[in-house]
Structure 1
Amino acid sequence: MKYAVVGAGAMGLRYGLLLQEVAGKEVEFVEPTKESVDKIKAQGNVVYQSRDHEDRHPVPVKVFSPEEYEGNPDVWIFFMKQMQMEETLKRMAPHFKDHQVAVGAMNGMGHIEKLQSYFKDDKIIGGTAMIATILSDYGDVDFIGKSNSGASAYSNLSGVKTAETQEVMEDFQAANLNPTYSNNFMGTLLTKVFFNAVENSIATMFQARMGNLLSYDQFVPTIAKPLVDEAYDAAAAAGITLLETREEMLIQVDYVAREVVPLHFPSMYQDFVKNRPTEVDYINGWIADLAEEHGVAAPTQRFITGLVHLAEAMREFNPPVNQLEVK
């Protein structure tokens, strides 16, 4: 399989570099953000890769703007902010072909419906990635955690695993992305959304590392549990079954923050400290919309959405300190 990764941010670079350097696949990057393309080209068509802030080294890449790109990949992997998706797909549309597969493992919800405007359902693979990565700057990515750590999960939108999906899974396994597959499409996607509705939003508002949240010994029962309960109630009302129970989700919230990536700043925080809009409307806000659409309330999810937007507005008066900058 030949891959084109759309979006050379933290996760786009993580997937693309692992596929290229570990799995030995041909990978091209299509970057919709001009400043990012310019920076990577100015560096000599390399990106800098670190692991846990160490061993920073250059890796050659092929990077193009959507308008420059002339390739014909077998698989598109989309990694960008939900707010960028619609415009980027319009710019990429001339390059899409019927045989191509689209993988969307982005944060939040909203991108799958947009992909359906360009790809058939049996060509769309949705996914989630529990893989911590930081974009220190354009063209400068930091892999958090030991080599071959983290996990990812995927599902065909059509509900049927295809031969193409199997080949993608094999390539992802070779790239140390540790993939699993399920025919439960929405259950697969919502696993990450429900997790992020707790960890990302709360850590961002308090500008905290994920492990710091557990310094409050009542974090799981008084903060995480109401958010998880509302999310699961919304899913149940919508007829969606997740891959894990709500009790297992709470265990995961605690375990990942405590044992896996306690020093990690989530992606929402990374946007927050760089004065960019966050994706809270596509995570907590999406859950609140789902609940209300199906006749149940999610006041805590709605409240958290508002608080994150308030925190965004307060940056004008109390600028956040970017703790991503390693001294």
Structure 2
Amino acid sequence: MKYAVLGAGAMGLRYGVLLQEAGFSVDFVDIWDKQIEAVTKQNGVFVSRDGENKHLIPINISSPEDYSGDPDVWIVFVKQMQLENALKRAGHLFTKKQYVVAPMNGMGHIEKLDQYFAEDKVISGTAMIATVLNGPGDVDFMGPSGAGSMKLVNQNETPDEMTQQIADDFTKANLNPEITTNFQGTLMAKVILNSVCNTLCTMFGIKMGEFIQAPTTEALSKQLINEAFDVCERAGITLLNTREQEWKAIQVASTKGMPLHYPSMYQDMSKHRPTEVDYINGYIYELGLKNHYEATTHDYLRNLVHLAEFTSDFDPETLVAKVE
């Protein structure tokens, strides 16, 4: 089976490289010119694991305008706020027979994918896999080989033969997939986890293993979890976990799965890029409003992140925020 990765950032590179190393044909398509230029110039991407054994792996990378391949499956890992533009630029490459897999952070991508792919060919999911993009053409896979796991879920909640084939391929690539049949519940379980770990770690510039040790972590986490579950209950979404299981998942992710990991939201913040907080905590708050409930803690935390984004670009000498 042939794959194309739209979005050759940290996660896109990890999925694509691991599939390529497992023997599958993989192309990379990106909208970030610096990434394309760096990879082209060095004839591949530099890959490390936990900061060690940095080596060059040849990959094929193109812009949407320069790509002419016809993959069986698209794997999409584009930041939520950039997705609409990426899909528009790549739209001429999509065909009716192609499937799309998008285990992205946050919510908001499904509606955009549905404009280009048939509902029975849209597979989303979650990815509990830590990866860091050090810079253009330089990625670090966190954890030992085979670390991390993911869930795959069809939008129509009916796994077909192609879904199973994709899961089998991902298994060969050590991505540890599990197929579920609860679409909204699967996606929201990860959104809730990210609304706690990503956002709080970002606000205080700490790794997940540091975050979980704080004496106030359980109280803060459960406040956010309870609000999110209240929202989902009002929206008619049955989650994969109970409230207590969601807290246990955060503990496991922070102590065993990714203790040395700075979440992707922190990586964006530290590099003065917009974060996806509106698609995580903001999504929970907006979903609550639609169902006559105010998740005020999530809204407060979202606004704090936006304040931190603003101050990270603030020039104290001119008292003016920098404009990119």
Fold match (TM-score > 0.5): yes
Choose from 277, 281, 290 the match for 1:280. 277
CA deviation after TM superposition for structure 1 residue 318, in Å = 8.0
- The answer to whether the aligner puts 1:117 opposite 2:115 as a matched pair is yes
Q: Secondary structure at the match of 2:53?
A: strand
Contact 1:8 1:139 in 2 (8 A): no
1:256 to 2:253 alignment: yes
Please tell me whether the aligned partners of residues 40 and 138 of structure 1 are also in contact (alpha carbons under 8 angstroms): yes
Q: Secondary structure at the match of 2:212?
A: helix
Return the letter of the residue paired with 1:58.
L
Alignment RMSD: 1.1
Unaligned regions of 5+ residues in structure 1, if any? Answer: 320-327
Do structure 1's residue 34 and structure 2's residue 24 form an aligned pair? Answer: no
What is residue 172 of structure 2 aligned with on the other side?
174
1:164 paired residue number = 162
**Partners in 2 of 1:226 and 1:81 — Cα distance?**
27
Inter-CA distance 272–318: structure 2 relative to 1 (3 Å threshold): farther
Write out aligned runs for 1:100-249 (5 A): 100-220=98-218, 222-249=219-246
Partner in structure 1 of residue 320 of structure 2: none
For 1:214 and 1:112, the matched residues in 2 are separated by 31
Per-residue CA deviation, residues 104-162 of structure 1 (Å, 9 max, x unaligned), is 11111111100000111100001110000000111111010111010000111011111
Alpha carbons 1:100, 1:123 under 8 Å: kept: yes
Assess if the C-alpha contact under 8 Å between 2:272 and 2:313 holds in 1: no
Shift in Å, 1:317: 4.0
> What percentage of residue pairs aligned between the two structures are identical?
49
2:127–2:151 Cα contact (<8 Å) kept? yes
Give the distance between the partners of 1:316 and 1:102, measured in 2 at CA.
Answer: 36
**What is the CA–CA distance in structure 2 between the aligned matches of 1:215 and 1:148, rounded to whole Å?**
26
Gaps of 5+ in 2: 317-324
Counterpart-to-counterpart distance in 2, 1:142 and 1:166:
29
Q: SS of 2:97's equivalent?
A: coil
1:32-91 deviations in Å (ceiling 9; x for gaps): 1111101111112x0011100000000000000000000000000000100110011111
Taking the TM superposition and a 5 Å limit, the aligned residue runs for 1:1-80 are 1-21=1-21, 23-44=22-43, 46-80=44-78
CA contact (8 A) 2:3 2:24 kept: yes
SS, match of residue 90 in structure 2: helix
Report the residue type matching 2:284 in the other structure: I
Letter in 2 for 1:8: A
Q: Which amino acid aligns with 1:252?
A: A
Show the counterpart of 2:319.
none
Q: AA paired with 2:34?
A: E
Q: Distance in 2 between matches of 1:190 and 1:234?
A: 11
Total equivalences in the alignment: 316
**Letter paired with 1:147:** S
Give the Cα separation in 2 of the matches to 1:77 and 1:236.
31
1:214 Cα deviation after fit: 2.4
How far apart in 2 are the matches of 1:19 and 1:186?
27
Give SS of 1:215's match: coil
- Secondary structure in structure 2 of the residue aligned to 1:50: strand
| Inter-partner Cα distance in structure 2 for 1:112 and 1:104 | 9
The equivalent of 1:324 in structure 2 is none
Distance in 1 (CA, whole Å) between partners of 2:314 and 2:279 is: 26
**1:292 aligned to 2:289?**
yes
Give the 3 Å change call, closer, same or farther, for CA 255–318 of structure 1 in structure 2: farther
- Scaled by the length of structure 1, what TM-score is found? 0.95
Instruction: State the partner residue of 2:305.
Output: 308
TM-score normalized by the length of structure 2: 0.96
Secondary structure at 1:98 match in 2: coil
Question: Shift of residue 263 of structure 1?
Answer: 1.3
Q: Distance in 2 between matches of 1:193 and 1:316?
A: 27
Corresponding residue for residue 323 of structure 1: none
Which contiguous aligned blocks of 4+ residues in structure 1 show a shift greater than 6 angstroms? none
